[in-house]
Structure 1
């Protein structure tokens, strides 16, 4: 059994080259079947009795197909509704949909490591997100975590507010155009009707999030808001751009192409998600499939965006305090800084984590407020009462601290639309792990799906699918906070959660104080697609200035 299961791609290809086709036609299917049947009947992890989809008991292909189709969290949630709190998603992967499991599976000091799922997310080199080694992660986190302390995050507030203002200036301009000419579309995806500007807000919040993270991480925005376009620059020769670090190159100029960064980021997430759930020995073969080849190209291009942005920032010395300068100045416990590749890999992580999550969450919150006029009116009242006419555009960090209903609106959006909704996989350490009375031996992969525990009726009430911020004042606060998992928990939780929440507070307070939102179709649900993150696909809203 060991010889069949542990063959890597090179060994398999070597075997194929040394056998004739007739032999291969018999041996290959036999090996494939044995590789999936033997582990099930051997049951080395003692999980055969745990229910789940029939195909998932024998092969990772079930979860691979579900992940590729973009609705993994919803499908896994349906499986938990059918089978109960323990569901087998793959031959060696158990999903545990119980809030109390969070503190066990992701606890400090339990010894559980990230699974090989994270290998599919490695680009340039391993960063703090996809590092699986405990000691290497601790070294990286020591360098990175201080950047996102509450004190450091406040230093970034002016940059956040600057780009929120830029977005509102664009929307104000379009609102004026819509009022002047309510006849129809201008060709750029917006039009005027019923005294409102109608547009898909998703691209705009993508532009906003990318410009903020570009400014914070790389010293300059990508310019998406100004251009009203998904655009970034990537070097044609990534290796050459990387090699030029540290050289006497004051201009920082390289040959570049312009690419749609948001689209590429989406493709990269879908690809890495679908690839990560497959066994490592499958991955070289599925990369030959056209869809996976396109995803692999997106991974390379996204890395190029980070390489280009880092090179440009480092080629222009400045005293400016931003995420990259703090990363560059960081030291591990031995006093060592990050090398150039490691620095770029961490910058890439910041680009991914700091753009997609913010834009997805902002879009979902706007959608739910637009679909609940009473809730939106209640938030408007709080914003008017607490902020008044202070600063006609972007709210400040001090202002948003005194807005409890805004916080509830954001939290409810993060609950019902968790952009990180899937169960993050962990490998049970030596000695095993007992979760809610079920023992899992060493090597078993376990996860707790945020999408499902955010819909636990015992915690949130029977109306779990309803967007209702009032539940955050009515129900057991301790139980809700223990179950609420938008940024994960434990030693591998999101290091940037302070910055992410401040961004959401400033963005939502500023936009909702200035505008009223309605849906074009109040009955239309928010369509989503899930790669690594669960993303809205479109959100057509009508926008009206509240002061005109």
Structure 2
């Protein structure tokens, strides 16, 4: 009897091995994607994609894979470098979610409901709210006596408070206290978790079903629980305060009056996106801007000459207005260039190939395959940006003959119908904060500063230590 069971066990193992070998042979030699190059393990298992996402350097890894394998790279059995399954991890059970909604028709309808509130006209209407936080930031930085300052941390305090100010007419109070009360770490853990688990959707589904029995093991669930509850509380507090508020919440409530299907829960989910993603993306861009400027003194001096020249002729206020910042051509070039080199999203922005398939770089790709690209990769293609694509050269944005091409391939906020709806908020903050801090402080990097990079669902930058000396402005 024992020999029979042992024989059965061996037979099962042998059968499993045969199935595994047949599967590997099919993926490597007979799959429609077999001719597309990529790491061997990526051709036979989705674990590779989740692995490089989890270790925190997927933005660099994708660039290296393209350099090694060419324009099209296979990074999973059914994934090449339309919304893909990974976004289901983002959406969860949310009925309203521009980031996670895979259905293009539903996405278009949802975006149409909120587009006006997030347009540049609407956001610049909220500029006084940004000013109040910016003035407070400058005053708090002037009070600091211990040098160097972790400017990156203060920038994120500012970005998070601005989200509160423009969303609910009330900052969270982080700049004033100089402390985030632990919320940044919670955000980081959630985004770090989301960065890899979205490439392991089967694992995610199993975890969600078992969660009532095993508890929550995934920090990514905070997006649809902790941060949703935070946004809901802020909306309720905002509703309970008296006053004629000018904020995003009031604009969404106005939409609700004519579109009752846009209910309170949907508004809360939309505001959750503000809170969850609104500070990290902007603070990453701001960290990159100051770091690159201070690493390149000649660029810093050129920008300061532009700002001081305009200030002397009365063309620059304190704080700087958005309109004034737009008129500073070198400032705008610096912003574009820094965000080109350090876009906040470095993972794949993926889509499902529609029925009927498509041809990519001479390869036929059948329907259902996931394809995507990375802003980090696009922003380093020498055919677009030139042989100095890895260098910080803002002057490239002043070359009129290339301006149209460069802006076409500027992918820091994504592109097309899926362009980040909060891009105007981020651009307003960046355009105001950078020149205002530069005219209020002399700055230099602390010795041996190098930014530490980590990629979750977004790129995090750490270590921006700066000596800041207040100017008499």
TM-score above 0.5, yes or no = yes
The counterpart of 2:197, out of the listed 255, 275, 300, is 275
Q: Match for residue 286 of structure 2? A: 362
The counterpart of 2:186, out of the listed 264, 270, 292, is 264
CA distance, structure 2, for counterparts of residue 450 and residue 265 of structure 1: 22
2:452/2:462 contact within 8 Å kept? yes
The counterpart of 1:122, out of the listed 54, 72, 91, is 91
Question: So what's the TM-score if we normalise by structure 1?
Answer: 0.78
Which of the two has greater helix per residue? 2
Q: 1:450 to 1:45 in 2, by over 3 A?
A: farther
Q: How big is the shift at 1:438?
A: 2.6
Q: 1:393 to 1:37 in 2, by over 3 A?
A: farther
Q: Match for residue 114 of structure 2? A: 144
2:191/2:220 contact within 8 Å kept? no
Q: How big is the shift at 1:461?
A: 2.1
1:386/1:402 contact within 8 Å kept? no
Q: Match for residue 51 of structure 1? A: 37
SS in 2 for 1:517: strand
CA distance, structure 2, for counterparts of residue 283 and residue 291 of structure 1: 14
Q: How big is the shift at 1:31?
A: 6.5
Q: 1:486 to 1:37 in 2, by over 3 A?
A: farther
CA distance, structure 2, for counterparts of residue 135 and residue 36 of structure 1: 41
2:450/2:463 contact within 8 Å kept? no
1:116/1:280 contact within 8 Å kept? no
The counterpart of 2:139, out of the listed 150, 169, 172, is 169
CA distance, structure 2, for counterparts of residue 329 and residue 210 of structure 1: 24
Q: 1:159 to 1:276 in 2, by over 3 A?
A: same
Q: 1:27 to 1:367 in 2, by over 3 A?
A: farther
Q: 1:25 to 1:506 in 2, by over 3 A?
A: farther
Q: Match for residue 277 of structure 2? A: 353
Matches within 5 A, 1:5-44: 34=19, 38=23, 41=26
2:38/2:74 contact within 8 Å kept? yes
Q: How big is the shift at 1:294?
A: 5.0
CA distance, structure 2, for counterparts of residue 516 and residue 144 of structure 1: 40
Corresponding position: 1:205 with 2:175? no
1:94/1:446 contact within 8 Å kept? yes
SS in 1 for 2:394: coil
Structure 1, 493-502 or 84-93: larger mean CA deviation: 493-502
Q: Match for residue 241 of structure 1? A: none
Q: How big is the shift at 1:45?
A: 6.0
1:275/1:283 contact within 8 Å kept? no
Root mean square deviation of aligned Cα? 2.9
2:227/2:275 contact within 8 Å kept? no
Corresponding position: 1:396 with 2:346? no
Question: So what's the TM-score if we normalise by structure 2?
Answer: 0.90
Segments of 5+ residues of structure 1 without an aligned counterpart are 1-19, 96-111, 179-190, 192-196, 232-259
Corresponding position: 1:385 with 2:303? no
Q: How big is the shift at 1:296?
A: 4.3
1:330/1:337 contact within 8 Å kept? no
Q: How big is the shift at 1:166?
A: 0.7
The counterpart of 1:525, out of the listed 442, 447, 450, is 450
CA distance, structure 1, for counterparts of residue 255 and residue 230 of structure 2: 23
CA distance, structure 1, for counterparts of residue 88 and residue 123 of structure 2: 30
The counterpart of 1:338, out of the listed 258, 262, 277, is 262
The counterpart of 1:93, out of the listed 54, 75, 79, is 79
Q: How big is the shift at 1:44?
A: 8.2
The count of aligned residue pairs is 461
Q: How big is the shift at 1:28?
A: 9.6
The counterpart of 1:61, out of the listed 17, 35, 47, is 47
CA distance, structure 2, for counterparts of residue 25 and residue 119 of structure 1: 39
Q: How big is the shift at 1:78?
A: 0.5
Q: 1:23 to 1:321 in 2, by over 3 A?
A: farther
1:123/1:345 contact within 8 Å kept? no
Runs of 4+ in 1 over 4 A off after TM superposition: 22-37, 42-45, 285-288, 389-392
Q: 1:492 to 1:296 in 2, by over 3 A?
A: closer
CA distance, structure 2, for counterparts of residue 40 and residue 337 of structure 1: 51
Q: Match for residue 295 of structure 1? A: 219
Q: How big is the shift at 1:337?
A: 4.1
Q: Match for residue 246 of structure 2? A: 321
SS in 2 for 1:293: coil
CA distance, structure 2, for counterparts of residue 32 and residue 509 of structure 1: 63
1:469-519 residue CA offsets vs partner (Å, 9 max, x unmatched)? 112123622221221111111111112222221211001111112122211
1:218-254 residue CA offsets vs partner (Å, 9 max, x unmatched)? 22111000110013xxxxxxxxxxxxxxxxxxxxxxx
1:369/1:517 contact within 8 Å kept? no
